[in-house]
């Protein structure tokens, strides 16, 4: 009656072993580390970089306790763990000097970091500690404001060029097209020419609102309110995406990057020690441009003599070779919808496939039609310096906005270029308007207080329930310990972020889990009062209490899912622990505790009493 089949005992045992293994890493803490990543999208952390770092550390007798190389997409990040902060700081300075001889034009990011100090054998099986939030681990909080005027200014520049293109394509004469602040002015010879242009412009440029003064050959264009709202929303979203890519360079676990209001972005970086480096990376500006290369004999002769002719600028490609580019910017990154690496189906060589938006496709068609057999350069600006990442030759007119770039590149180079084009630029400038630093000591105090409150609550519950329910109280206490162990293990396996609200949810889980055991124990007592034998009382107690336990936990789970779905930030952190805690408590209270009871009492055929505290029977009351 009260015996589990072998497989159920094995399930409980496996859950216990997994709980122990995946909870262990949380007790080893973290070690100081130094992280090396590329500071520019055109620079790679390769084997030569790693060899240089190893050489510097060996020469200065700095022995890391562990090293890790992580590959994300096409970027590589190296992390070196040290036994103390003195070695960490010294190693950072030495690596910085070796990799960035020109501090004003740093090619690598060398940042302080923290890495889990758990043994390698735990790391190999994927047993990693939970991430700690900003309130527990310490770190920095930034509030950034997006320059919406800058986003609109860039858009107006593009629209001015597009308006000229539309008029030229439709062969509509115009004297002058110029932009003044957030307006575009077009002057025509006559009012009839203006009216003809107005009809065509309204059809092809619906995001602009046009106005004209009767009898005057002038046309004024402004962005509509709907278009302005779309541009501002897109600028914030694009900046959030770019910030995520940049923060990967810092190796921050579970950063918080979210929109606040119409034009602000909140960035929280738990565990970041080097605040200056974090600000440098977040504030880094990047933009993408497409220009024509000037390969004329006169330009090349001037370049060889060290001179730059009027109307062109000198740039360098990724190998350091100089190129002369026309000053006119043909396209910017805002016209690019997607970029992916692939192969040229005809030549079977690596290629980069680009998809431009409708406006970019129209401009690109004209450029490629008029400049066949000339080179076109794709320039990436970072930290105010432009680098030509590729300069392919235009072979034919490209009318549909589907661009294919080929050249002297391998498959990895193609993937690198595609990644740069997808995520290399900010849609609008940003500035840090608020900065808060939470020290590690404050985070440690929060952890200690949260741990102590949970521990003292657990001890108080354990003492009460053991006194009140005796041996069954001990089973309930062991089940409660099993529940906490399993909950922490699941959070670690999911690499969830634990915050102060999460600790509050952990304490709540303890109370809810013991409530299930109270229901079971009281149900067993009730069955014994009704005359059931001890074995029958145990069986009926667990079975009949299950419906009540399921109903009460289901209602709590529904609330937790609602918090998880609609909440954000601290509320979401609370909901994650709450929902997982409900599931683990149902398993440990019903399956885990019953397995212990079955092991202790299940094999006893003649069982007269069980240690579940005082059972008040009706006949006892009559005798008294």
Structure confidence by residue, pLDDT tens digits, 437-462: 776 666 678 778 888 888 888 899 99
- Which residue, among 458, 477, 461, has the nearest Cα to 593 in the 3D structure? 477
E strands in 122-254 = 131-132, 139-146, 176-180, 183-187, 208-212, 218-223
Tokens of 601: 């009492």
Tokens of 602: 């299940």
| Strand partners of residue 260 | 264
Percent of residues, the chain, with pLDDT higher than 90: 11
- Which residue, among 160, 156, 601, 577, has the nearest Cα to 363 in the 3D structure? 160
DSSP per position, 12-55: HHHHHHHHHHHHGGGGS-EEEEEEEEESSTT----HHHHHHHHH
Q: For 190-222, how does the pLDDT look when each residue is reduced to its tens digit (9 = 90+)? A: 888 888 888 888 888 888 888 887 777 888 888
Of the two residues 295 and 14, the one the predictor is more confident about is: 14
Beta pairing, strands 430-438 & 139-146: antiparallel
62 phi and psi, to 5 degrees?
-110, 115
Of the two residues 433 and 338, the one the predictor is more confident about is: 433
pLDDT reading at 359 higher than 80: no
pLDDT at res. 249: 52
Instruction: Assign 90 to helix, strand or coil.
Output: helix
Query: Is this structure's pTM higher than 0.75?
Result: no
pLDDT at res. 459: 92
pLDDT reading at 496 higher than 90: no
395 phi and psi, to 5 degrees?
-95, -30
pLDDT reading at 133 higher than 60: yes
Q: Contact 537/611 with Cβ under 8 angstroms?
A: no
Band of residue 15 on the pLDDT scale cut at 50, 70, 90: very high
Q: Which residues contact 106 (CB under 8 A, 6 or more apart)?
A: 39, 100
- Residue 134: how many CA atoms within 13 Å on its side-chain side? 16
Of the two residues 284 and 374, the one the predictor is more confident about is: 374
560 phi and psi, to 5 degrees?
-60, -40
Tokens of 117: 């100090």
pLDDT at res. 580: 92
Percent of residues, the chain, with pLDDT higher than 70: 88
Band of residue 417 on the pLDDT scale cut at 50, 70, 90: low
pLDDT reading at 137 higher than 70: yes
Most confident of 523-527, 567-571, 619-623: 523-527
For residue 589, the tally of other CB atoms under 10 A from its CB is 29
pLDDT at res. 214: 78
pLDDT at res. 624: 45
pLDDT reading at 544 higher than 50: yes
Q: For 553-609, how does the pLDDT look when each residue is reduced to its tens digit (9 = 90+)? A: 899 899 999 988 887 767 888 888 999 999 999 999 889 999 998 888 887 777 788
Tokens of 203: 């059809």
Tokens of 370: 């008029």
pLDDT at res. 485: 93
Cα gap 420→564, rounded to integer Å: 34
Q: For 101-111, how does the pLDDT look when each residue is reduced to its tens digit (9 = 90+)? A: 877 677 787 87
Q: For 306-317, how does the pLDDT look when each residue is reduced to its tens digit (9 = 90+)? A: 788 887 888 888
Cα gap 346→263, rounded to integer Å: 46
Indicate the average pLDDT of the chain. 82
Q: For 591-600, how does the pLDDT look when each residue is reduced to its tens digit (9 = 90+)? A: 999 999 888 8
Mean pLDDT computed over 251-275: 76
């Amino acid at each position: 009656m009260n015996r589990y089949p072998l497989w159920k005992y094995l399930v409980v045992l496996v859950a216990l072993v997994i709980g122990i293994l995946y909870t262990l890493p949380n007790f080893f803490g973290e070690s100081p580390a130094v992280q090396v990543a590329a500071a520019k999208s055109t620079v790679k952390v390769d084997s030569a970089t790693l060899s240089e770092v190893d050489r510097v550390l060996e020469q200065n007798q700095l022995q890391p306790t562990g090293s890790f190389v992580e590959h994300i997409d096409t970027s590589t990040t190296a992390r070196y763990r040290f036994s103390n902060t003195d070695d960490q700081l010294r190693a950072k300075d030495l690596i910085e000097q070796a990799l960035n001889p020109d501090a004003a034009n740093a090619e690598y990011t060398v940042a302080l970091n923290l890495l889990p100090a758990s043994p390698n054998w735990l790391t190999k099986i994927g047993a990693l500690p939970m991430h700690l939030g900003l309130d527990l681990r310490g770190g920095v909080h930034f509030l950034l404001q997006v320059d919406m005027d800058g986003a609109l200014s860039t858009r107006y520049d593009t629209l001015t060029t597009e308006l000229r293109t539309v008029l030229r394509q439709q062969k509509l004469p115009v004297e002058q097209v110029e932009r003044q602040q957030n307006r575009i002015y077009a002057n025509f010879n006559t009012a009839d020419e203006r009216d003809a242009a107005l009809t065509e412009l309204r059809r092809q440029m619906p995001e602009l609102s046009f106005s004209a003064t009767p009898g005057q050959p002038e046309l004024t264009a402004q962005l509509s309110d709907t278009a302005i709202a779309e541009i501002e929303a897109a600028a914030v979203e694009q900046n959030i995406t770019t910030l995520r890519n940049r923060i990967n360079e810092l190796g921050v676990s579970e950063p918080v990057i979210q929109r606040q209001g119409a034009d602000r972005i909140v960035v929280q970086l738990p565990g970041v020690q080097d605040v200056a480096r974090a600000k440098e990376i977040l504030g880094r500006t990047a933009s993408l441009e497409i220009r024509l290369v000037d390969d004329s004999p006169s330009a090349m002769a001037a370049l060889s003599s060290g001179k730059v002719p009027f109307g062109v600028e000198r740039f360098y490609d990724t190998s350091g070779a100089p190129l002369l580019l026309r000053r006119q910017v043909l396209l910017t990154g805002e016209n690019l919808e997607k970029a992916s690496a692939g192969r040229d189906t005809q030549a079977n060589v690596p290629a980069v496939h680009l998809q431009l938006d409708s406006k970019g496709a129209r401009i690109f068609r004209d450029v490629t039609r008029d400049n066949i057999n000339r080179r076109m350069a794709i320039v990436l600006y970072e930290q105010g310096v432009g680098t030509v990442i590729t300069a392919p030759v235009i072979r034919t007119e490209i009318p549909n906005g589907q661009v294919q770039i080929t050249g002297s590149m391998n498959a990895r180079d193609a993937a690198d270029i595609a990644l740069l084009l997808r995520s290399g630029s900010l849609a609008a400038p940003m500035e840090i308007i608020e900065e808060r630093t939470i020290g590690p000591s404050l985070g440690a105090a929060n952890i200690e207080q949260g741990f102590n409150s949970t521990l003292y609550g657990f001890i108080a519950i354990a003492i009460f329930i053991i006194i009140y329910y005796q041996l069954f109280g001990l089973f309930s206490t062991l089940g409660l310990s099993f529940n906490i162990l399993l909950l922490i293990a699941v959070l670690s396996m999911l690499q969830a972020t634990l915050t102060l609200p999460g600790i509050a949810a952990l304490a709540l889980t303890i109370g809810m889990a013991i409530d299930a055991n109270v229901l079971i124990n009281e149900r067993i007592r009730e069955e014994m009062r009704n005359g059931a034998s001890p074995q029958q009382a145990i069986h009926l107690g667990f079975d009949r209490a299950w419906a009540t336990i399921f109903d009460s936990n289901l209602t709590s789970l529904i609330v937790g899912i609602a918090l998880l779905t609609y909440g954000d930030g601290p509320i979401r952190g609370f909901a994650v622990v709450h929902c997982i805690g409900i599931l683990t408590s149902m398993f440990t209270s019903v399956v885990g505790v019953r397995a212990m009871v079955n092991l202790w009492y299940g094999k006893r055929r003649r069982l007269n009493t069980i240690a579940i505290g005082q059972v008040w029977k009706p006949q006892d009351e009559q005798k008294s």
